Copies of this chain bind each other. A is one copy, B any other.
Amino acid sequence: MTVASIGDINFAPPKELVELAAKVKDFVKDKVVPYEKDPRWTAHGPTDELRIELNTLARQAGVFAPHVPKEYGGRAISQIGCALVFEAAGYSILGPTAIHCASPDEGNIHLLDVVARPDQRDHFLKPLAEGKVRSCFCMTEPGGAGSDPSLLQTTARLDGNEWVINGRKWLITGADNAGWAIIMAKLESGPMNGHATLFLVDLPNPAIKIERTLDTIDSSFTGGHAVIEIKDLRLPADSVLGEIGKGFRYAQVRLAPARLSHCMRWLGSAVRAQEIATDYARQRVAFGKKLGEHEGVSFMLADNMMDIHMARLAIWHTAWLLDKGDRASNESSMSKVICSEAIARVADRSMQILGGMGMTRDTVVERIFRDTRAFRIYDGPSEVHRWALGARIVSGKM
């Protein structure tokens, strides 16, 4: 074989990233997996105490936050790098929390790295990137504004040199005990009237009240998902993140890679589920032979393998586009649908293979199944992506 020239297709990731991912995988297997039985992993995700304990272990192992900018101690790895490392971290649902690549912090770090002013970097990005605080992204609202941002009801108006913000946010991941928040609101006046804008605010703040933490099917996010009331929140005029009126655009800047990093992390979950199901199929006996010797089971394992293979290829391809500077809107949407559905199938089949055991929390597959169900909704339900892709195909925009 000849040496690859520029422009040659190549599916071999750089050696240093492969090694880093292997290190992360070892760390997760050895140090994180034992915490999966820890009672501090609650129905609303790991507690902050557990998170901090895991972060410390990750720092000791030299695998903490390799995706953050170098000035904050990270390695600023590429999207391809993230693909490898986040999948390795995802081997345990607690892994991304441990190495600090979990949502929403990971996406917020990315957004601020691209958009924030130097003073905002120091004040907000630095402590987040270094794992000293958590953050949240307050976009979704009870009446929508998740998939369809035009439904945004939270308002911001300028009162002298202060913004006054009012609204109600819903399904806000990690809000409870976060150190700061990004809030999306619709301007009520001025030249950008009606346009969405992002604001940065330290937490806690007396004008921001956590009404309740939602009981949800998933349980991987520290702090869970909250309903928040924002009542007459007053912020200095310079609290805007980026430019006034560009809230939707920034949400997209954040979402395309954030959506993909969800795929990466949960792909790790699928790998784990397949491993547990395979082990079980090798040992458990039913109807006179090993479970795995029944084609009804081995076909499911083969399908899992193919789903994992396809999800990984889709992720790598989109990551490569993002690394090249491509916006990759279509590919990011396709990867979200392909991966979330493939990964959910893997979790479902693994659970089925485990039989009665699969219905219990005696293996982590039960939590993987529930988390990956939610993944089919979070960051855009499959239907919204199919709708957007279909409309672009029909209109000839792709």
A 351-375 contacts with B by CB, 8 A = 351-352, 355-356, 358-362, 366, 369-370, 373-374
A140 nearest CB neighbor, chain B only? B356
- Is A71 in the interface zone, CB < 8 Å from B? no
Bin chain A's interface residue count: 35 or more
Are A296 and B299 in contact (CB-based, < 8 A)? yes
Q: Among B217, B334, B355, B390, point to the contact of A299 (Cβ < 8 A).
A: B390
Q: B residues within 8 A CB of A284?
A: 143-144
Report whether over half of chain A's contact residues are helix, strand or loop; otherwise say mixed. helix
Min CB distance A75 to B, Å, is 15
- Is A256 in the interface zone, CB < 8 Å from B? no
Q: Chain A 167-206, CB within 8 Å of chain B: the 1/0 string?
A: 0001100000000000000000000000000000000000
Are B394 and A381 in contact (CB-based, < 8 A)? no
Q: Among B288, B325, B331, B377, point to the contact of A358 (Cβ < 8 A).
A: B377
Q: B residues within 8 A CB of A6?
A: 3-4
Q: B residues within 8 A CB of A389?
A: 301-302, 305-306
Are B355 and A147 in contact (CB-based, < 8 A)? yes
Are A369 and B9 in contact (CB-based, < 8 A)? no
What is the CA–CA distance of A294 and B376 in the complex, to the nearest angstrom?
A: 18
Q: Among B325, B366, B374, point to the contact of A359 (Cβ < 8 A).
A: B374
Q: B residues within 8 A CB of A117?
A: none
Which residues of A are at the interface with B, using a C-beta cutoff of 8 A?
A: 1, 3-15, 80, 140, 143-144, 146-148, 150-151, 170-171, 214-218, 225, 278, 281-282, 284-288, 290, 292-303, 305-306, 309-310, 313-314, 316-317, 319-321, 323-325, 331, 334, 337-338, 351-352, 355-356, 358-362, 366, 369-370, 373-374, 376-378, 381-383, 385-387, 389-391, 393-394, 396
Interchain residue pairs A-B with the least CB separation, the first 4:
A298-B390, A292-B394, A215-B361, A295-B295
Question: Could you list some 29 contacts between A and B, CB below 8 A?
Answer: A4-B4, A5-B14, A7-B13, A8-B13, A9-B10, A9-B12, A10-B10, A146-B356, A147-B286, A147-B287, A171-B356, A216-B359, A217-B369, A218-B359, A278-B393, A292-B394, A294-B387, A296-B387, A297-B390, A298-B386, A301-B389, A301-B390, A301-B393, A302-B337, A302-B390, A302-B393, A306-B389, A309-B331, A352-B376
